[in-house]
Structure 1
Amino acid sequence: MNPAAIWWRAILPLFFLFFNHSLLMAQTTQTQLVRGRVLDDVTQFPIGGATIAVSGTGQPQALSDKDGYFTLHVPLGRYSFVVTHTGYEPRTAPEVLVTAGKEAQLTLLLTEKTTVLDEVVVQTRGGRNLNNEMIAVSGTVFNPADTRRFAGSIGDPARMISGMAGVANASDGRNDIVVRGNSPLGLLWQVEGVNIANPNHYGSLVSTGGPVSILNANSLAKSDFIAGAFPAQYGNALGGVFDLRLRNGNSEKTEMVGEIGFAGFEAGIEGPFSRKSKASYLVNYRYSTVGLLQAIGFNVGTGSAIPQYQDLSFKIHIPLSSKNTLSFWGMGGPSKIDFLGNEADTVNNKNLYGAENTNLFSRFFTGIAGVSLETNFNRNTFGKLSIGINRATEKGLADSISEQTREAFRTGESRFNTSRYEIAYTLAHKFNAKSSLLSGVTATAFQYQLFDKRIYGNYERATIQIDENTHTALLQAFSQLKHRFTEQLTLMAGLHYQQLSLNGSHAIEPRASLQYDLPGRQTISAAYGTHAQMQSPVVYFKRSYVNDLPVYTNRQLGFTRSHQWVLSYANRLASSLQLKAEAYYQKLSHVPVTRYPSGFSMLNEGAGFGIILKDSLVNKGTGANYGLDLTLEKTFNRDYYFLITGSLFQSKYKGSDGIERNTTFNNHYIGNMLTGKDFRLEGDQHIFSVSLRMTVMGGRYASPVDEHASASGRGTTYDEDSNPYSIKQSPYFRTDLKLGGRRNFKRSTLEGGVDLRNVTNRQNLFVQLYDRKAQKVVNQYQPGILVVPYFRFTF
């Protein structure tokens, strides 16, 4: 696509939004209703009599009722809300967007004071407050609205979070999250207290990411992301935790949304079941737009292959009584794509996953559903029961195409069906304002139907790598105490335990953190934790053969383990400006490596659709990640915001040959600068916004192509044993620009614009491949400029 066509398609949505004044149906209103609830941050007990005010304005205040609910009429715009109550520390909810098309809903959590003194002024806790009050270090708030506001995020939570310090995406075409040099496999996804597998379309069993997220920003609530040394309630993870919450539908008014963007055509509805209760529903459906984008000339990185997918997300929220609340929720959908070798565009490098001598046929389905029962036993005790089911299917066929006749020969078949059935119960008890205890137990049953076959010589010979129909279970339990010695000094200490029934592997994991508030709105924190994670099922069930009989040499593999230390310093320089620095060290052990001396390690796997399947692995590998993360953040104030993050780090490992090497995720440095500004064209009724993101990273390490093996084989072969990850790739640089706007009508809001990813059309290296025609190694690059128009209409 030529540059003129790109910019015309970029400007067209803005022209439609801002200059088509015939869309104005009536005089716009000046206010909108903001509703919400005030709760205790430990026990979730409703707090009545709390005062809610709009910060820095003379707007009227509201009081929460005996059940913690409040409503407040606020002019259109973006505000911070301050909540205060005698006996509790003041709290601020920043950057709340109030539009005509949707009522804003807030959940405000207050922390009880350890002492109550008259005539003492306590400064408001500003900034982005985490949901989990047990998190002391490495925690970041995920705001779903930011996926629409930040350049380059294209509505995807995983892509948005990569702008935070210490975090990167594995590639432009996927959203795998690399946290502080850890493999994406080390990330734990959790929704409403239920641990889930890969929440992405085209989400492989051996990864935690994919090209398109199933997670819908219109269904998500404010959530927590933790980059390391996480509290005792999170287990079976090494690199980080994404603790996601789903929002409740509007319990007073029916609202709808229509949206077109990168993730799909979307329609959603929410509202009350009855005005006599607080019960509500929320439903959102999406169908892929990528095929349409490609049809009209936009390059999405898949060449002639057309991705097809759809998904549905929902939540039903039912207050059974003043003490009990029941919720049903779910998300999921199918996806498929075919890469046909005869249609692959290898000249222009537009097909990231296909090759001219290969056919790939892929079919996926992911479904996640759960039910939660929350109980306020009394003012000091809160319990939550969560039951979840996670079903994923993955089917793949691979053909090799003859270079002479272009005839296709089957070379591989795989079918991976996995089911997870989980029940979890957590109990929070507050002894007094100083001490509280959070405990819980989780039981997860896994059902596996796994098959993988490699075919040689047009079915003359075949090797079955995996053929398993089995089950196993993982039991986890934890308890964590929080004690506030003073208003300034807080200790959190806990213990996590997990055991895998497959081979009896178990781990006892102590965790602890200490936080101290210094004068001048400064905080210093330190944390330590041990963490353990089971291996991927395809690793456990990889077959080897002795006298043509299958044996399972990996089934006794234990957990991979790590020790993590974090030292954190935060300084709130102003009400909307914060500086944060964190130094960390992670020591990894019991990593699966080969029995014979080689440079292979499982620490390098998990950033794509597959992993290298090895048999005869042992838990003798090691690794280390250490570095410094810096963040300077200005939340939205005076119509602009910015986020500047920087990371300096090392990520090393040792295979069974004892040689220390760089992991493939060792960039050495990552820098992000994200900023945005709103321009008021007609007061608060008509907003034009600009968002810019610039990312720079050191190049990763890659294994060299084995040219001799590649020339005689069926695809590119890499030297993964004797000389792995010895090539330092060139640095990565990308600039994203987002232009958009928002127009408020009487009872609706129209948003639109365009997201320009890699606006400078920089050629960042994706992978090196062997070209059998040219008989040489060639570079394949990440997608060039990607133009994503979007529209969103709420009413």
Structure 2
Amino acid sequence: MKKLYVQSFFTIFLLLSVLASPAVHAQDAGIIEGSVIDRDTQQPIIGARIEVLGTTLGAIADMNGQFFIEGLQSGTYRLKATAVDYQPIVKSDIAVGSAQSVKLVVEMQIDAYQAGEIVVTATQLFNKAEDVKVSSNELSQEEIRRSPGSAEDVSRMVQALPGVATAADSRNDLIVRGGSPIENFIMIDGIEVPNINHFGTQGASGGPIGMINVDFLQEVTFSAGGFPVKYGDRLSSIMDIQYRDGDKNKLTGKFDLGLAGAGFIVEGPIQKGKSSYIVSARKSYLDLLLSSTGLTAVPNYTNFNLKATYELSPTHKLAVIGLGGIDRIEFKGAEDEDDPSNDHIEYDAWQSVIGLSHKWLAGKQTYVQTSLSQNNYHYGIDVDSAGTSEFSNNSLDSEVLLRSDLSHRFSPADLFELGLQLCYLRTNNDIFQNSWIDYFSVQHETLHIDKLTEAFKLGFYTQYTKTFYRRFSLTGGLRYDYFNYLNDPHAISPRASLSIDLQQNLKLNFAYGLYRQAVPLIWLIGDEANKNLKYIKATHAIAGVEYYPMEDVKVTVEVFNKNYDDYPASVANPQVSYATVGTEYGLLGMEALESASTGYARGIEFFVQKKLTQTLYGLVNYAYSQIRFKALDGVERPSSFDYRHMFTIMLGYKFSNTLELSGKWRYTSGKPYTPVDLEASTALNQLQLDFSKVNAYRFAAYHRLDIRIDKRYEFDGWNLVAFIDFENLYNRKNIDQLQWDEKKKRVDTVYQWSFLPAGGIKVEF
């Protein structure tokens, strides 16, 4: 780790040299281009008026809803869009430079009762879909990029939102209102993606390092509960990611260099003015720098991002989405005196997602999006001790998905939605585990699974949103899911939500519904009896207040109750519920399970966000919750994700168009843990836990401060952005977990990240 600090400070020295350089002022060469469309039907809004606030510049959307604004000085702007029949909208925090144009898609919401005129309601800086009433927030690309302590990673930025926690600094797992990382749904431009992280856990959605390039992002919508029926087979959260289009007029690029690695982006036109592509690649290089230092367990990874669009006609558009990653890491175990384990571990994995999406404007009020995609995840893990194989996993998980969603507006007050999803699953698993004793002193026989498994899923939904009496918006939906691998393959999920406009800037929101999720296929093949497992069920009940005291400030208060039923529980360890797994690196589900665990997550969340309109931006988030579960033994215990109090404050200030300072402080109550059984651990020389005190204790509270500095430079034909991020600035020793040192035969405390300076440079051309 000391070698890593040397490299960090060397990187920081270079960045400070750049930050100390004088700024270069560019000419008026900035461009904002994009399109204005109806949020629900995706129809172009012809004649929409676009204004760059604070300037005299603007544009009128053409017959395709497109606009083009040039002659802007480099800086940060707000864009306002108005149109007949639509609520006005403002896009803030638009960073304009001279090297590349800014590409925007402005989605406007129709006004249900003021058709035929320019709507005079309050301008919207905070947006959400008509059928989303509760627990939803949108993040722009710039908000994600500059978030302190987030390493330009969308998952780490989302952790600052209400109800979201993570298990450790070293991982991107999202624990949403107490839900396991297996419960999260991720979609990119209509393509379902199982995982967007390197070194992922099989069957879950997390991992330590994100694969998505932040420069690809248009915006991200995150929902922490009460989401509509179009999103199925998940219980806790939705992350809907929208990629931006590439440059449709000229070839441009970007190169970036930081502590974690180096990468590039290339984008340009396919049909000039109509279609484009954007592609990126990134490679870590810490393994190359530190290979001669003796430091072990350095992650080696590569990732790729792709989006290409092609306009077949004004009403038909194709898009190709691609995402891929290659991972490798090696723990030398007995060869490394600092490694507490004697195990030698090699991890090689790769994953890929490729999808084709067709958007069809079927009529003036009808929109259909159909996608076909395939994702693959290959796990290659070998663990041996003293030359004896202890564990190996050579698996390839594959899915082929067909999804079609239709949206039709009968009137400004009536929106109908219908959708179908088909999924073919194929897993080829070769898994071996030598006889072992688990953490609770239970002896397990040698396990060897060499099996090809095929299955399919079907999902169908219908939904209707009605606005009436000017103040009420009601959404009702019904979803049906089918999974042929289960002995009971059917699931029905009704949901409803209501929003009441008390005033122009004050709303009451409610949501209630059933959410059902099939357990991961890898858990089902662990034991033949696991086919008897049921769909996991969660019942969401949410009520909240949404208030806009100013145009750029949103305040929300929500109370939630989430009841869980039929969660898998371990038969061999009757005190263990699988509701608290998904944040580990090991393989889960290789045992007999029963759908016998129940639990609940309930709490209250307070959230304030200020968008950047002048110089100041930030958010404040406080949540109090209780998450508890029962396993087969019937004893109610705190969940491993029961953090009780969570508080985040993030503030940023733009001193000028070229210099920005931001900071984030995060606090959570200590997480529950099970104490170590010292006598049993010493006797077996491996970690053994006291099963009579599962999650009976708590670690000390977690808190840390992250500070980030951003500096922009404008040159003739190219731009440079440099940043420094000081993570855990005051070097708080936050506890991660307890582990057993096999070499010293003692319990050790593993800490979260200590103080770590990091940074990077981006060059746009």
For residues 197 and 103 of structure 1, the distance between their equivalents in structure 2, rounded to whole angstroms, comes to: 32
Do 1:737 and 1:756's aligned partners in 2 also have CA atoms closer than 8 Å? yes
Tell me the equivalent position of 1:637: 613
Query: Per-residue deviation at 1:527?
Result: 0.5
The aligned runs of 1:265-280 (5 Å cut-off) are: 265-275=262-272, 277-280=273-276
Tell me the equivalent position of 1:323: 315
Tell me the equivalent position of 1:341: 333
For residues 117 and 388 of structure 2, the distance between their equivalents in structure 1, rounded to whole angstroms, comes to: 82
For residues 294 and 207 of structure 1, the distance between their equivalents in structure 2, rounded to whole angstroms, comes to: 31
Tell me the equivalent position of 1:753: 723
Tell me the equivalent position of 1:187: 184
Query: Per-residue deviation at 1:487?
Result: 3.5
Q: Does the C-alpha gap of structure 1 residues 11 and 483 become closer, same or farther in structure 2, counting only changes over 3 Å?
A: same
For residues 627 and 160 of structure 1, the distance between their equivalents in structure 2, rounded to whole angstroms, comes to: 22
Q: Name structure 2 gaps, 5 residues minimum.
A: 437-443
Structure 2 length as normaliser, TM-score? 0.94
Q: Does the C-alpha gap of structure 1 residues 303 and 757 become closer, same or farther in structure 2, counting only changes over 3 Å?
A: farther
Query: Per-residue deviation at 1:723?
Result: 3.2
**Aligned pair 1:205/2:175, yes or no?**
no
Query: Per-residue deviation at 1:313?
Result: 1.1
Which letter does structure 1 place at the counterpart of 2:616? Y
Query: Per-residue deviation at 1:740?
Result: 2.3
For residues 117 and 307 of structure 1, the distance between their equivalents in structure 2, rounded to whole angstroms, comes to: 57
For residues 597 and 394 of structure 1, the distance between their equivalents in structure 2, rounded to whole angstroms, comes to: 27
Identify the range of structure 1 (511-520 vs 419-428) with the bigger mean alpha-carbon deviation: 511-520
Query: Per-residue deviation at 1:612?
Result: 4.7
**Aligned pair 1:577/2:553, yes or no?**
yes
For residues 232 and 303 of structure 1, the distance between their equivalents in structure 2, rounded to whole angstroms, comes to: 49
Tell me the equivalent position of 1:475: 458
Q: Does the C-alpha gap of structure 1 residues 728 and 360 become closer, same or farther in structure 2, counting only changes over 3 Å?
A: same
Tell me the equivalent position of 1:541: 525
Do 2:84 and 2:117's aligned partners in 1 also have CA atoms closer than 8 Å? no
Q: Does the C-alpha gap of structure 1 residues 232 and 3 become closer, same or farther in structure 2, counting only changes over 3 Å?
A: closer
Query: Per-residue deviation at 1:294?
Result: 5.1
- The SS at the match of 2:98 is coil
Q: Name structure 1 gaps, 5 residues minimum.
A: 347-353, 402-407, 544-551
The aligned runs of 1:273-288 (5 Å cut-off) are: 273-275=270-272, 277-288=273-284
The aligned runs of 1:231-380 (5 Å cut-off) are: 231-275=228-272, 277-291=273-287, 304-344=296-336, 346=338, 355-380=340-365
Do 1:224 and 1:242's aligned partners in 2 also have CA atoms closer than 8 Å? yes
Identify the range of structure 1 (489-498 vs 287-296) with the bigger mean alpha-carbon deviation: 287-296
Identify the range of structure 1 (610-619 vs 742-751) with the bigger mean alpha-carbon deviation: 610-619
- The SS at the match of 1:309 is strand
2:535 equivalent among 559, 570, 584 = 559
Which letter does structure 2 place at the counterpart of 1:589? D
Tell me the equivalent position of 2:439: none
- The SS at the match of 1:414 is strand
The count of corresponding residues between Structure 1 and Structure 2 is: 755
1:151 equivalent among 148, 151, 159 = 148
The aligned runs of 1:626-665 (5 Å cut-off) are: 626-665=602-641
For residues 517 and 100 of structure 2, the distance between their equivalents in structure 1, rounded to whole angstroms, comes to: 42
For residues 676 and 394 of structure 2, the distance between their equivalents in structure 1, rounded to whole angstroms, comes to: 29
Query: Per-residue deviation at 1:225?
Result: 0.8
For residues 345 and 75 of structure 1, the distance between their equivalents in structure 2, rounded to whole angstroms, comes to: 57
Do 2:360 and 2:369's aligned partners in 1 also have CA atoms closer than 8 Å? yes
Tell me the equivalent position of 1:727: 697
Q: Does the C-alpha gap of structure 1 residues 553 and 751 become closer, same or farther in structure 2, counting only changes over 3 Å?
A: same
Which letter does structure 2 place at the counterpart of 1:309? Y
For residues 445 and 497 of structure 2, the distance between their equivalents in structure 1, rounded to whole angstroms, comes to: 53
Tell me the equivalent position of 2:495: 511
Query: Per-residue deviation at 1:238?
Result: 0.9
- The SS at the match of 1:631 is strand
Tell me the equivalent position of 1:489: 472
Which letter does structure 2 place at the counterpart of 1:531? Y
Structure 1 length as normaliser, TM-score? 0.91
Tell me the equivalent position of 2:441: none
Tell me the equivalent position of 1:610: 586
Do 2:357 and 2:370's aligned partners in 1 also have CA atoms closer than 8 Å? yes
- The SS at the match of 1:320 is strand
Q: Does the C-alpha gap of structure 1 residues 144 and 263 become closer, same or farther in structure 2, counting only changes over 3 Å?
A: farther
Tell me the equivalent position of 1:37: 35
For residues 137 and 290 of structure 1, the distance between their equivalents in structure 2, rounded to whole angstroms, comes to: 42
Do 2:84 and 2:118's aligned partners in 1 also have CA atoms closer than 8 Å? no
Do 2:435 and 2:447's aligned partners in 1 also have CA atoms closer than 8 Å? no
1:446 equivalent among 425, 428, 442 = 425
Q: Does the C-alpha gap of structure 1 residues 345 and 627 become closer, same or farther in structure 2, counting only changes over 3 Å?
A: farther
Tell me the equivalent position of 2:395: 416
Query: Per-residue deviation at 1:580?
Result: 1.1
CA displacement 1:209-258 (0-9 Å, x = unmatched):
11111112122221211101111100111111111122211112221110
Query: Per-residue deviation at 1:604?
Result: 0.8
For residues 41 and 160 of structure 1, the distance between their equivalents in structure 2, rounded to whole angstroms, comes to: 25
Tell me the equivalent position of 1:139: 136
Which letter does structure 2 place at the counterpart of 1:625? A
Query: Per-residue deviation at 1:774?
Result: 4.2
Query: Per-residue deviation at 1:611?
Result: 4.9
For residues 214 and 419 of structure 2, the distance between their equivalents in structure 1, rounded to whole angstroms, comes to: 28
The aligned runs of 1:84-103 (5 Å cut-off) are: 84-103=82-101
Tell me the equivalent position of 2:712: 742
2:667 equivalent among 693, 696, 719 = 696
CA displacement 1:612-635 (0-9 Å, x = unmatched):
546332212101000111111111
**Aligned pair 1:781/2:751, yes or no?**
yes
Query: Per-residue deviation at 1:263?
Result: 4.9
CA displacement 1:545-595 (0-9 Å, x = unmatched):
xxxxxxx12122111101001112111111112211111000000111245
For residues 263 and 224 of structure 1, the distance between their equivalents in structure 2, rounded to whole angstroms, comes to: 26
- The SS at the match of 1:717 is coil
Query: Per-residue deviation at 1:262?
Result: 4.9
Which letter does structure 1 place at the counterpart of 2:593? L
Do 1:344 and 1:356's aligned partners in 2 also have CA atoms closer than 8 Å? no
Do 1:492 and 1:514's aligned partners in 2 also have CA atoms closer than 8 Å? yes
